[in-house]
Amino acid sequence: MQRVELVKDSLSFSRMIQGYWRLNDWEMSAQQLVSFIEQGLELGITTTDHADVYGAFTEERRFGQALKLAPHLRDKIEIISKCGILFPCEEQPRVIEKHYDTRRDYIIRAAERSLHELGIERLDVLLIHRPDPLMDADEVAEAFRCLKQAGKVRHFGVSNFSTSQFALLQSRVDEPLVTNQLEISVVHPDYLFDGTLDYLQQHRIRPMAWSCLGGGEVFHDYQYKDLRVRAAEIGEQMGASLDQVLLAFVLALPCQAMPLLGSGNLDRIRTQVGALDLKFDRQQWFSLLEVARGQAVP
């Protein structure tokens, strides 16, 4: 598995990253999860993606139970978490409206809560989960400084940020934001054309890519019928599955995105990792984009 150096001599990720947003749905025991993590490691997947909000604020606790069973795993993996989204749920009894919070104290408390739930000393990376129209960039920078100094978080980044939001926050934070986690797929190619990926390539910031498979809708929605047919043709030419074609489409981008894998099924993950060996021909790539957008490039 290819490794990606995000901060020289300080932070590297596996090119593919295991996402845990659906962990609760997998119905694994802590022991099964330990085994799942270990088998991922055998495939070279060392980087794991979490968020306080996943599983309605319960995912990190569940992941922490596995780490408790197998503490040696901690130093073999990178742990990313996110904060900033709040919505009404059992774990947040005082929340009655979905909203964001990026105030200094809230970020610090949220990171500490993630550490507690995961049962670890330090996050490798903390991301602001969503751009917050009320974000005071000085407060966020101050929270990052505190968490860094306290040894609680090693590096910082963002998720779903536009170029202007990224530039604003970066202007206040001393060290480079290490990533911007974005929805990137052939069915959501907006960032390829609106400047977001141009900016990241310019500043050599590697995005993480979520929903590379289009959230599953590509597999059954009627509106994606033509896309499925074209992807299947390409898959046949390449000797690749639909999963692999969709992932290889994202891997081909010059921003060198790091795809998140959302499945809890190791067979499927093994197949998906195979996308790293595929090589999209440019004509294939543009023809898939054309079908997805309903028009050729000009």
**Contact status: 165 vs a copy of itself (CB under 8 A):** yes
Kindly name the residue from 20, 54, 191, 199 that is annotated as catalytic: 54
Residue 163 makes contact with a copy of itself by CB under 8 A: yes
219 binds a copy of itself (CB under 8 A): no
Tell the smallest beta-carbon distance from residue 286 to a copy of itself (Å): 4
CA proximity to 292, closest of 230, 221, 244, 250: 230
Site string for a copy of itself, 252-281 (x = CB under 8 A): xxx---------------------------
Which of residues 193, 216, 270, 277 is near a copy of itself by CB under 8 A? Answer: 193
In the complex, least distance from residue 39 CB atom to a copy of itself, rounded to whole angstroms: 33
> Is residue 168 near a copy of itself by the rule CB under 8 A?
yes
In the bound state with a copy of itself, the residue whose beta carbon lies nearer, of 119 and 215, is 215
Helix, strand, coil share (%) of the chain residues, nearest 5: 50, 20, 35
Closest CB 296 distance from a copy of itself, rounded Å: 5
Confirm or reject binding of residue 283 to a copy of itself (CB under 8 A). Answer: yes
Residue 191 annotated as catalytic: no
CA quadruple 102, 104, 105, 108: dihedral sign: positive
Burial 30-49 (b: 16+ CB within 10 A, else e): beebbebbeebbebebbbbb
Token output for 60: 């990190």
For a copy of itself, give the closer residue by CB, 136 or 277.
136
How far apart are the C-alpha atoms of 34 and 88, rounded to whole Å? Answer: 30
Give yes or no for residue 180 binding a copy of itself (CB under 8 A).
no
- Site map (CB under 8 A) of a copy of itself, residues 141-160, x = contact: -------------------x
Is 197 within 8 Å of 207 (Cβ atoms)?
Answer: yes
> Cβ closer to a copy of itself: 122 or 293?
293
Q: Which of 11, 137, 242, 276 touches a copy of itself by CB under 8 A?
A: 137
CA 289 vs. chain centroid, Å, equals 22
Please list every residue from 89 through 128 that binds a copy of itself, using CB under 8 A: 95-101
CB 89 within 8 A of CB 119: no
Label residue 52 exposed, middle or buried (CB < 10 Å: 0-12, 13-18, 19+).
buried
Residues near 99 by beta carbon (within 8 Å), at least 6 away in sequence: 86, 87
Residue 239's SS3 state is coil
Give me the amino acid identity at 67. Answer: L
Q: Does 48 bind a copy of itself (CB under 8 A)?
A: no
Q: Which residues are catalytic?
A: 54
Residues within the interface to a copy of itself (CB under 8 A): 95-101, 130, 133-137, 160, 162-165, 167-168, 171, 189, 192-193, 195, 197-199, 201-202, 252-254, 282-287, 289-290, 296-298
